Amino acid sequence: MNILVVGSLNMDLVSHVPHLPKAGETITSTSFQTIPGGKGANQAVAAARLGAKVQMIGKVGRDAYGEILLERMAAAGVDTTGIGQEDTTGMALIQVSDSGENHIVLVPGANQRVHTGDVDRYQEMLEACDILLAQLEIPLEVVEYAVKCAHQKGKTVVLNPAPAQKLSADILQHVDTLTPNETELEILTGMPVETLPQIEAAVQALLVQGPRCIIVTMGEKGALVVHGGGVMHLPAYEVQAVDTTAAGDAFTAAYAVARGRGKTDEAAARFASKVAAIVVTRHGAQPSLPTMEEVEAAL
């Protein structure tokens, strides 16, 4: 089973803090780390560690961070042939509180240099993949182009709409599965998402625009799986969260891997919930992503 990820690569600059600062507040970090991240890279590494064959199209900078990211991706088993080097490497400035909550500021860098020509250059990767996995940390026109190309070739398209922005029906009609969290769902639809009925109503409004399935990740409230066959609420696994940074990425990647292995949407989402539950008990983005052996042993 082959997965092609078209997306971002960042170096995460992580400060651990007692609590997330309020506007105008200065606080002291208890520790600092540089950790490979980026939603695209996180999802590629997550899928590779779960046993999928993964290729990626994206860009890093011509700098030390870029070299480190390429080395780490290759070490995780991701084919980096489609990752170019240009400009400076993207960064994410992350604050993680003692309670596991986070604030993230993105510095796009080379991620903004990904263009449709890169997708054209690696058409053989699109031909070879079973699933295209995409996010929104690279230019939207590139995501739209990759999604349409994959859909036209009969590939399964999984889109994690993060960081959230309005999406046209033109792109949504080429998506098989959309995986927003609650905040992203609210931005996508402009509808309230305070309660489960409100979330379901927002999902239904989005579903008619094209996606075959929508899975809303809701943290400790679990996940909501909605498609033409019905609605299922999956409760979250009870764990002690220390860092939620890559939980959504792990969920989306694990879902794609399970779907690629023939699981139903519900079964794939249940497996993804298990993987995400492990991730939030560990610090860091890519360092927190488990192997299939770790998932089986832990659960």
User: Residues at the annotated binding site for ATP?
Assistant: 181, 217-222, 248-249
Alpha-carbon distance of 42 to 196, in angstroms, equals 28
249 is catalytic: yes
Q: Are 246 and 287 in contact (CB under 8 A)?
A: no
Closest C-alpha to 175, from 252, 249, 108:
252
**Other CB atoms within 10 A of residue 284 CB:** 19
Q: Which of 118, 170, 176, 249 is catalytic?
A: 249
Taking the C-alpha atoms of residue 142 and residue 58, their distance in angstroms, rounded to an integer, is 10
Q: Report the length, in residues, of the chain.
A: 299
Binding residues for substrate: 10-12, 38-42, 137, 249
Tokens of 68: 């480190």
Q: How far apart are CA 262 and CA 260, in angstroms?
A: 5
The Cα 24–Cα 45 span in angstroms is: 36
Which residues are annotated binding-site positions? 10-12, 38-42, 137, 181, 217-222, 243, 245, 248-249, 279, 282, 284, 288
Residues 6+ apart with CB under 8 A from 151: 157, 174, 175
- 81: tokens are 């042939």
CA distances from 188 to 119, 129, 145, 166, 213 (A): 25, 28, 19, 5, 15
Query: β-strand 10-17 against 31-37: which pairing, if any?
Result: antiparallel
- DSSP code at position 291: P
Binding-site residues for K(+) sit at 243, 245, 279, 282, 284, 288
CB atoms within 10 A of CB 172: 20
Active-site residues, by number, are 249
